[in-house]
A and B are shown apart, each in its own frame.
Chain A
């Protein structure tokens, strides 16, 4: 399976600032996704990161708040903009290999906003 490196692994940020999370995969993958896991809850899909084009956002998530880049088939970034304490969550990068529907996840970025 693909090896997914996500950084930072955790951060503590001030309200109103922005944080960019990086996801690097050791092989080319067809699909990359970003998920959010709020404290004590399950995972919610934020968006699909499309290579070379704008990301596809799920209901409740917008590009201005969560801009995403995917310049190639192995790398993506998620920015959490103008953060508030409600953004405190674990943010997870996931990838799908060869369209087989099996998603693999990075170790996540635990974000705390003060």
Chain B
């Protein structure tokens, strides 16, 4: 069976509530960041991205916030739905390795009905 997410931190939220998933990145020189969603048995799915010259970007029901001072990235999901249950990964691209994504450790989001 699927083994992704067995040992990951878990965030449990009530359906309809807002979710906030946090990520601390490692390289202060990184200039591009992406959030991915990975459902059981599937590859990571692109959600939203942000460049280092921005501190906020909004998509459909999702917002990414970037705090370069403390090297922190967050993903906010509004009105969380059961279909949002998945493992979420942040990824960063160092400025000197523009094609290499470095993935964070991931957070499992569980949505309670």
A interface vs B, CB < 8 Å? 1, 4, 6, 31, 33, 37, 39-45, 48, 90, 92, 94, 96, 101-108, 110
Cβ-defined contact, B43 with A92, below 8 A: yes
Residues in B whose Cβ lies below 8 Å from that of A44: 103
B93's nearest neighbour on chain A, judged by CB, is A101
**Once the chains bind, are B44 and A43 in contact (CB under 8 Å)?**
yes
Structural contact, B105 and A105, CB atoms closer than 8 A: no
Contact A42 B43 (CB under 8 A): no
The answer on a CB contact under 8 Å between A40 and B99 is no
B interface, over-half SS: loop
Contact of B105 among A42, A90, A110 (CB under 8 A): A42
Is the contact region of chain A dominated by helix, strand, or loop, or is it mixed? strand
Contacting pair A101 B104 (CB below 8 A): no
Cβ–Cβ contact B100 & A45, under 8 A: yes
Q: Across the two chains, which residue of chain A brings its CB closest to B1? A: A110
CB-CB nearest in chain A for B8? A40
Instruction: Judge whether A40 and B6 touch: CB under 8 Å.
Output: yes
B28 within 8 A of A: no
8 closest Cβ pairs, A-B complex:
A105-B43, A40-B7, A40-B6, A39-B3, A42-B103, A43-B103, A105-B44, A108-B43
- In the complex the two chains form, is A37's CB within 8 Å of B99's CB? no
CB distance from A76 to the nearest CB of B (A): 15
> How many whole Å from B3's CB to the nearest CB in chain A?
4
Query: Hey, which chain B residues are within 8 Å of A37, CB to CB?
Result: 4
| Contact present for B105 and A45 (CB under 8 Å) | no
Q: A6-B43, A43-B101, A105-B43 are in contact. List 6 more A-B contacts (CB 8 A).
A: A31-B99, A33-B99, A103-B34, A106-B43, A107-B43, A108-B43
Q: How long is the Cα–Cα vector from A97 to B7 in the complex, in angstroms?
A: 32
CA of A42 to CA of B3 in the docked complex: distance in angstroms? Answer: 11
